[in-house]
Structure 1
């Protein structure tokens, strides 16, 4: 009987450790590990769900508003950092290009934080609302 290698043992332990911490992702596996992906939905489909579900609809609407905050933060972060860097470096590929990408990432993060506090997302279970929407969409489309 061959024993597992040193690296195999550590890999299994690491996989188990992170699997426990990201176990919430299992909520989505029945939607992501399908033979046929769910058909695309439109904004009107989401609005229809929001109107039809009095429990999870408002939560999903708030989560969508939070995404708008994050997108605006991303644009503002990207433009301002790239503009500031362009003013002082005039290096498109290194200075302004990299600062544009970094500003977008940081702006997205700050936008999410602002949304979290101003919309009080910490009080809502946005994942449950998203899963309920996907279940609703799956039932509406017949599981295609």
Structure 2
């Protein structure tokens, strides 16, 4: 279809689609592992530890990224309990306490990851490359290569 024949919405939709595809192009790193005919089986913590000990470059980065998750989990628990408890104490509203509990968990998770980002200096590490290397290693191990 020629450019002049396209409608107003079609032209703008293609523009938005192109814009967001550029912004989320990093997702292509994982598509070869996600969009498979036969999905990769789940791995265990011991499999991850095996990779960490076998790869001197990406192993420590993956280990640090896994530690950052603990910060997020603690932040989520603290945020959920404090906001939910505070709302329950002052309003005695069950639905309000539930919503604030959920919102506190989300905000706490985000805040915990920000703390981990600075404390563990994740901004200096390429965690996506480490995760991709782990997925490649897991694929080779599972397929017996």
CA distance in 1: counterparts of 2:141 and 2:103, whole angstroms: 40
Deviation at 1:6, TM superposition (A): 1.1
Instruction: Kindly indicate whether residue 109 of structure 2 is the aligned counterpart of residue 115 of structure 1.
Output: no
Determine the structure 1 residue equivalent to 2:126.
Answer: 125
TM-score between both structures, scaled by the size of structure 2:
0.95
What RMSD in Å do the two structures reach over aligned CA positions? 1.1
> Where do 4+ consecutive residues of structure 1 move more than 2 Å?
none
Report the count of equivalent residues: 142
| Structure 1 unaligned spans of 5+ | none
Give the match's secondary structure for 2:143: coil
Deviation at 1:23, TM superposition (A): 0.7
Q: Per-residue displacement from partner, 1:23-64 (whole Å, max 9, x unpaired)?
A: 111111101111111100000000000000000000000000
CA distance in 2: counterparts of 1:43 and 1:36, whole angstroms: 22
| Structure 2 unaligned spans of 5+ | none
Determine the structure 1 residue equivalent to 2:78.
Answer: 76
